[in-house]
Amino acid sequence: MAKRIDVSGLSAYYGSHRAIDDISMTVEPRSVTAFIGPSGCGKSTFLRTLNRMHEVTPGGRVEGKVLLDDENLYGPNVDPVAVRRTVGMVFQRPNPFPTMSIFDNVAAGLRLNGTVRKSELADVVERSLKGANLWNEVKDRLNKPGSGLSGGQQQRLCIARAIAVEPDVLLMDEPCSALDPISTLAIEDLIGELKERFTIVIVTHNMQQAARVSDRTAFFNLAAVGQPGKLIEIDETERIFSNPSVQATEDYISGRFG
């Protein structure tokens, strides 16, 4: 299950433009790692290289290595579709399949993997919705469309959909930026529970959120607009927010820029 991520020398491009440059870091299993940094610094791009979603953007290209335990996601014989089945992702805006019921949304990934037995699906859907703290709110309307839920519920539905296939890693790209404070709190609590089972990487613009939910924090920055984003430092969250080793990190978290 939860696996270690080991990134070395990773650069990502949009066409000829280099968006992130030479990033290396290690993400421990069963922990939450937060990516912070100003807009455009490449933290979302970097996140999307971890499940090979970057290359679905036209012109998207990646150099370098991402090891999941010992397997290189960018190895020559690795199928990106298979990678995405083991590295789940939750997006900025909740994106349940609009025409599908709540049940079918959660079951979608399982069906892609070939699970069709009704009883097995029902078990996993219940377990996943409970895991996403959504079961009590939707158990009486599993056949209603997922798009009828509130924004926060939809985002938890997307989390349930992502964890239903038992991924090794869960990537979250600003999962709370479209949500109100109460829904945000619900998701943050959920992240705390999920890290018992998954390796979680979360991109956030909210530094309090990074401080609340993460064990380790990585600070990204870019020299100037149009320059590639770089990893400035990664450390224990407590250290990053109290005594970071790089001046730029301190400037950013204390609000002096960005």
Residue with tokens 């990134």: 7
Instruction: Say if CB 244 and CB 219 are below 8 A apart.
Output: yes
Residue among 177, 226, 166 nearest 203 (CA):
177
Largest CA distance in the chain: 56
Q: How many CB atoms lie within 10 A of CB 257?
A: 9
99 binds another protein per the rule CB under 8 A: yes
Q: Which is nearer to another protein, 146 or 228 (CB)?
A: 146
Smallest separation, CB 205 to another protein (Å): 18
93 binds another protein per the rule CB under 8 A: yes
95 binds another protein per the rule CB under 8 A: yes
Q: Which two tokens stand for residue 17?
A: 């433009």
Here's the x/- map for another protein, 118-147, by CB under 8 A: it reads as: -----------------------------x
Q: Contact region for another protein (CB under 8 A) — 49-57, 62-70, 214-222, 237-245?
A: 49-57
Classified as helix, coil or strand, 202 is strand
Q: Which two tokens stand for residue 113?
A: 């993997």
Instruction: Say if CB 20 and CB 229 are below 8 A apart.
Output: yes
209 binds another protein per the rule CB under 8 A: no
Q: Which is nearer to another protein, 56 or 223 (CB)?
A: 56
91 binds another protein per the rule CB under 8 A: yes
Residues 158-187 that bind another protein (CB under 8 A): 158, 161-162, 165
51 binds another protein per the rule CB under 8 A: yes
- DSSP 8-state assignment for residue 145: B
CA distance 256 to 164: 41
96 binds another protein per the rule CB under 8 A: yes
Q: Strand pairing partners for 27?
A: 5
Here's the x/- map for another protein, 9-28, by CB under 8 A: it reads as: --------------------
Cα 245 from chain centre: 26
Give the interface with another protein as residue ranges (CB under 8 A).
51, 53, 56, 58, 81-86, 88-89, 91, 93-100, 108-109, 112-113, 147, 151, 154, 158, 161-162, 165
